[in-house]
Amino acid sequence: MFKQATALLLLSGALGFAQTENEEEEAKFDYKPPMVQKVIFDESITMLDQERHEYSSNLATYAANQLISKKATPEALESARRILALALHLERRNRQALVVNFQLKQGIMPEIKEGDYNPRTFSRLLLARAKLLLRNDNERERLLAHCFVELAALIDPRNADAVFAYENQRIDVGDIDWRLLTDAVKDKPSRAPVPDQ
């Protein structure tokens, strides 16, 4: 009986230590939330509210899932920040985007959640929508289209059409300045380099 009690005590101590270690591991990432005070993709974008909601929710779900799969590396955190900024610009009060953003601010890894689309399908959907947005002569729609093209290529690098469109976009217009989305605190965010703090 004494051996059983000792074994039980050792087992509970080991489990408690493992749980503490997991909690410390989760809190070891440094997430800087996007600043979305001024929504860039307003009513001038030709997109229905339901469509905005679906894109925003699926982008937030993808951001959370890729962050978990990449174990919150600095690159994955920056990618999640960009994707969540885009999601919040599409729908400012999107439940999934707000929850994931809040959890990351608190140092909590979000739970894996199944999105409406697998990455391959979502990549194709983003690319198709980008092509429609590029038909319009609206600067904000072009920016949204460029974001969609980049994400389509990054979400599914095997999507040759998305990768080709993204590489051509980089040649034609350069890389996207994501600070326009991640640091949107004024009517016209600055494109000037951010000073080190």
Q: Is residue 41 within 8 Å of 140, Cβ to Cβ?
A: yes
Predicted TM-score (pTM) above 0.75: yes
DSSP 57-91: HHHHHHHHHHHHHTTT-HHHHHHHHHHHHHHHHH-
Tokens 């199944």 locate to: 114
pLDDT tens digit sequence for 110-119: 999 988 999 9
State whether residue 80 is helix, strand or coil: helix
Backbone CA torsion sign across 161, 162, 167, 170: positive
pLDDT tens digit sequence for 102-150: 999 999 999 999 889 999 999 999 999 999 999 998 999 999 999 999 9
Q: Please, which residues bridge with residue 183 across strands? A: 35
Shortest CA distance to 60 belongs to which of 90, 31, 36? Answer: 90
Give the DSSP H/E element, type plus range, for residue 21. helix 2-26
- Token code pair at residue 115: 């999105």
